[in-house]
DNA sequence: GTAGGGTTAG
């Protein structure tokens, strides 16, 4: 490029284009010409600072800045923005201090403070943010909408919605940026009804809403699972002819997914004219959130066919789908995949790995995934704490909880579910009550039915069933079937037959079709030799036409899932499997196994019942695992129902005679059988 | 000439 032939104006226009397109190479050639020029040009040099800032070279921008014989406020604010957008917000704040010392600077303007406040947000530097707030109030810069919005944002980041609200209300008039920020602020801090009030208050200005407003409002519908509002907004977007960009499109898919309308999510996705990794991930997430994990995994293959590359969120969705399926081996494969493509270091992926390994029964791998993380957030801690608890490792869970407090992390609603479960594993009644009544209260967390159910379980485990019943009577909450079944199951374990009978009657009044309750109460009466009661229950079941949901277990061997149902004869290796079961049963009988025929609910002769027990699906799956994996390898089995007492006893002994770890995920929890013991301590 | 709000995870 010939320097002399290009006018100053042309150079400026070219620079603007190069900055916009981030064409560093061409921009540099203009820089070369400016260096050769006989006179210094402030505006052109400011453009250069902007060029290097936007192209990811704040260091070079700084060199240009330092070499200037004369600077103004634009030079400074351009460099500040460079620092901010290249991950150096503290340098931006450092620079504003330097600028305020230099006398030849004009007064600070709104650009400088918008950037300074944004830097404070990024650093969560509330102290310095407050100083900026004071200055912009005094100088009147707060009336500039960019400044005001940066202020709003700063208060969101420091979780101070009240201050944000004051800033928002201090300036009259409609500003779509401020509205969008406020909606997202309310949704982000869980104040959904405030968000809804704000949005309905702004419905008259609907013609001023833009894309971002719709994305924010769709997020509100998703967070509040308000499908009706979602429909209205979707309809309004269509009627107003809002162009579908990829943000709005993904927002619609996500909204339908989170509201549980998977068909609409799928349709909205198919109709998108432009799809990117975000829209693909959104629709995969929609499937996964609604329990359609295999569909989500299938979509990943389809996405690959279209040449779309996954990102960290895609891996998180995939891993969570594996968690839903307890697909340990596939999860392992995605772990390797994420590592190779460089996404493993992302926190969302680390969190999803903890979740996947923990839900697939491999708590050791979950522990390692947690240990490998460079950065952790509350989700990471909650995942590992609840993971330990579900695996019966109460001590580890409480240790992690205390670690977390030491690191300054603030526990949440979910944290305390894990903590109370851990107290349950360890039988720590007083600790549990302390966490529920004092710790949670101090943090302002209102306990929910999950916490109360943990308390019931804890009291039951400690054998204080009367207290548990009292607790349920006098605690004001919407008790669900899980809680009632917890109490009933304890009545069986602790032989509280009268209470058990009362509880069962109560449950069956509320849930007359709950098979689990029939099984539990019938087992309980059998244990007490109350055969008249057992017969009554069977009659009741027959009268109400209640059929036991068939027990199904499955196991993954070399990437394939093998499904077993009771009395299943379809598997190609069934005769070997039955031989193996018989072999195992005679082995464990030698060390004291007595078949527990009360676990068979069918109306058959007692002699047949023992044979029947051998066909329970988890026994078949374990036998298949034993004959098809190398000796010493742990066996992972999933089951759709709660494990029965007989299988539980048998598997403990099987783990002893075969020297194998057997990990079973049943409908309630994990059982890790090792050397004749189970991690649930026979309480589930 | 410099500045502000957005989609996918748990």
Which nucleotide is closest to A249, CA to C1'? B7
What average pLDDT does the segment A466-470 reach?
Answer: 93
A176 CA, B5 C1': Å apart = 8
What average pLDDT does the segment A232-253 reach?
Answer: 91
When pLDDT is cut at 50, 70 and 90, the band that residue A541 belongs to is: confident
Using DSSP's 3-state secondary structure scheme, residue A636 falls into strand
How buried is A335 (Cβ within 10 angstroms: 0-12 exposed, 13-18 middle, 19+ buried)?
A: buried
Is residue A464 pLDDT above 90, yes or no? yes
Which nucleotide is closest to A16, CA to C1'? B1
Going by C-alpha positions, the residue among A619, A624, A612 that lies closest to residue A588 is A619
A272 CA, B1 C1': Å apart = 39
Determine the protein residue whose CA lies at the shortest distance from the C1' of B10.
Answer: A379
A282 CA, B5 C1': Å apart = 21
CA distances from A474 to A165, A372, A467, A483, A484 (A): 39, 45, 10, 14, 14
A382 CA, B10 C1': Å apart = 9
Which nucleotide is closest to A145, CA to C1'? B4
- Euclidean distance between the first and the last CA atom of chain A, given in angstroms as a whole number: 79
Which nucleotide is closest to A383, CA to C1'? B10
How high is the pLDDT of residue A103?
66
pLDDT in tens, A406-432: 999 999 999 999 999 999 999 999 999
Is residue A213 pLDDT above 70, yes or no? yes
Bridge partners of residue A560, in order along the sequence = A557
Which nucleotide is closest to A147, CA to C1'? B4
Determine the protein residue whose CA lies at the shortest distance from the C1' of B5.
Answer: A177
When pLDDT is cut at 50, 70 and 90, the band that residue A527 belongs to is: confident
pLDDT in tens, A590-607: 998 888 877 776 677 777
Which nucleotide is closest to A246, CA to C1'? B7
Which nucleotide is closest to A286, CA to C1'? B8
Q: What is the mean pLDDT of chain A?
A: 91
Tokens 């690191």 correspond to what residue? A407
pLDDT in tens, A10-30: 999 999 999 998 899 999 999
Is residue A106 pLDDT above 70, yes or no? no
pLDDT in tens, A84-95: 999 999 999 999
Bridge partners of residue A639, in order along the sequence = A553
Using DSSP's 3-state secondary structure scheme, residue A665 falls into strand
Which nucleotide is closest to A53, CA to C1'? B2
A305 CA, B5 C1': Å apart = 34
What average pLDDT does the segment A331-341 reach?
Answer: 95
pLDDT in tens, A551-570: 888 888 887 888 888 766 78
Kindly state the percentage of chain A with pLDDT values over 70: 98
A247 CA, B6 C1': Å apart = 7
Going by C-alpha positions, the residue among A682, A660, A655 that lies closest to residue A669 is A682
A144 CA, B7 C1': Å apart = 28
Determine the protein residue whose CA lies at the shortest distance from the C1' of B4.
Answer: A146
Which bases on strand B have an atom closer than 7 Å to a protein beta carbon?
1-10
Bridge partners of residue A588, in order along the sequence = none
A362 CA, B4 C1': Å apart = 46
A43 CA, B3 C1': Å apart = 17
What residues have CB less than 8 Å from A503, skipping those under 6 apart?
Answer: A469, A484, A487, A488, A491
Is residue A3 pLDDT above 50, yes or no? no
**Token pair in block for residue A305:** 């066919």
Q: A383-543: what CATH class?
A: mainly alpha
**Token pair in block for residue A85:** 């957008």
What average pLDDT does the segment A335-361 reach?
Answer: 95
In chain A, list all ranges with CATH 1.25.40.10. 383-543
Determine the protein residue whose CA lies at the shortest distance from the C1' of B3.
Answer: A111
Determine the protein residue whose CA lies at the shortest distance from the C1' of B6.
Answer: A212
A588 CA, B7 C1': Å apart = 57
**Token pair in block for residue A21:** 């397109």
pLDDT in tens, A638-675: 888 888 888 888 899 999 999 999 988 888 778 889 98
Give the whole-angstrom CA distance, residue A249 versus residue A272.
7
Determine the protein residue whose CA lies at the shortest distance from the C1' of B7.
Answer: A247
How high is the pLDDT of residue A616?
84
Is residue A534 pLDDT above 90, yes or no? no
**Token pair in block for residue A388:** 């330990």
Q: Taking each helix axis from N to C terminus, what angle separates A211-223 and A227-239, rounded to the nearest 10 degrees?
A: 160
Using DSSP's 3-state secondary structure scheme, residue A405 falls into helix
Is residue A518 pLDDT above 60, yes or no? yes
As a residue count, chain A comes to 684
How high is the pLDDT of residue A2?
47
User: Is residue A425 within 8 Å of A394, Cβ to Cβ?
Assistant: yes
Which nucleotide is closest to A285, CA to C1'? B8
């Amino acid at each position: 490029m010939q320097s002399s032939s290009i006018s100053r104006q042309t150079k400026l226009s070219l620079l603007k284009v190069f900055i916009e397109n981030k064409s560093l190479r061409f921009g540099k050639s203009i820089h070369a010409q400016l260096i050769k020029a006989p006179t210094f040009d402030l505006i052109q040099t400011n453009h250069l600072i902007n060029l290097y800032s936007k192209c990811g070279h704040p260091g070079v921008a700084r060199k240009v800045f330092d070499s200037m014989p004369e600077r103004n406020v634009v030079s400074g604010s351009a460099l500040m923005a460079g620092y901010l957008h290249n991950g150096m917000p503290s340098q931006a704040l450092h620079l504003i201090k330097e600028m305020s010392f230099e006398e030849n600077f004009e007064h600070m303007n709104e650009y400088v403070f918008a950037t300074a406040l944004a830097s404070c947000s990024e650093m969560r530097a509330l102290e310095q943010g407050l100083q900026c707030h004071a200055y912009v109030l005094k100088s009147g810069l707060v009336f500039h909408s960019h400044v005001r919005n940066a202020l709003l944002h700063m208060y969101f980041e420091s979780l101070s919605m009240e201050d944000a609200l004051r800033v928002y209300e201090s300036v009259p008039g409609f500003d779509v940026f401020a509205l969008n920020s406020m909606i997202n602020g309310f949704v982000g801090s869980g104040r959904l009804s405030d968000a809804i009030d704000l949005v309905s208050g702004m419905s008259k200005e609907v013609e001023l809403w833009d894309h971002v407003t719709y994305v924010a409002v769709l997020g509100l519908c998703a967070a509040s699972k308000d499908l009706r509002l979602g429909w209205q907004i979707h309809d309004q977007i269509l009627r107003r002819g809002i162009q579908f960009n990829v943000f709005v499109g993904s927002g619609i898919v996500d909204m339908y997914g989170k509201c549980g309308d998977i068909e609409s999510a799928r349709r909205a996705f198919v109709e998108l004219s432009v799809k990117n990794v975000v829209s693909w991930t959104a629709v995969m997430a929609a499937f996964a959130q609604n329990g359609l994990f295999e569909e989500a995994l299938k979509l990943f293959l389809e996405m690959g066919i279209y040449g779309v590359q996954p990102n960290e969120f895609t891996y998180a969705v995939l891993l969570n789908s594996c968690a839903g399926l307890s697909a340990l081996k596939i999860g392992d494969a995605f772990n390797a995949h994420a590592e190779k493509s460089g996404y493993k270091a992302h926190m969302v992926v680390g969190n999803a790995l903890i979740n996947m390994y923990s839900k697939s029964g491999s708590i050791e791998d979950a522990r390692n995934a947690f240990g490998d993380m460079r950065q952790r957030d509350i989700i990471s801690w909650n995942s590992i704490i609840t993971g330990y608890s579900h695996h019966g490792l109460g001590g580890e869970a409480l240790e992690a909880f205390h670690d977390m407090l030491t690191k300054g992390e603030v526990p949440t609603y979910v944290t305390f579910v894990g903590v109370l479960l851990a107290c349950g594993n360890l039988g720590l009644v007083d600790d549990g009550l302390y966490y529920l009544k004092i710790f949670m209260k101090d943090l302002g967390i209102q306990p929910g039915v999950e916490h109360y159910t943990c308390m019931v379980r804890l009291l039951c485990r400690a054998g204080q069933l009367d207290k548990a019943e009292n607790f349920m009577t006098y605690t004001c909450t919407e008790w669900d079937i899980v809680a009632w079944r917890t109490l009933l199951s304890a009545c069986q374990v602790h032989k509280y037959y009268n209470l058990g009978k009362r509880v069962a009657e109560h449950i069956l009044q509320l849930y007359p079709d709950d098979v689990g309750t029939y099984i539990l109460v019938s087992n309980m009466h059998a244990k007490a030799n109350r055969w008249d009661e057992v017969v009554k229950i069977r009659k009741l079941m027959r009268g109400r036409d209640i059929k036991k949901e068939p027990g199904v277990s499955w196991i993954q061997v070399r990437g394939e899932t093998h499904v077993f149902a009771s009395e299943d004869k379809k598997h190609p290796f069934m005769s070997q499997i039955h031989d193996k079961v018989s072999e195992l049963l005679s082995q464990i009988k030698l060390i004291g196994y007595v078949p527990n025929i009360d676990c068979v609910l069918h109306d058959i002769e007692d002699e047949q019942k023992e044979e029947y027990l051998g066909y329970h699906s988890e026994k078949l799956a374990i036998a298949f695992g034993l004959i098809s994996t190398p000796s010493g390898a742990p066996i992972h089995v999933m089951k759709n129902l709660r494990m029965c007492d007989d299988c539980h006893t048998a598997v403990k002994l099987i783990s002893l005679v075969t020297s194998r770890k057997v990990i079973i995920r049943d409908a309630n929890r994990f059982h890790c059988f090792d050397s004749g013991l189970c991690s649930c301590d026979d309480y589930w």
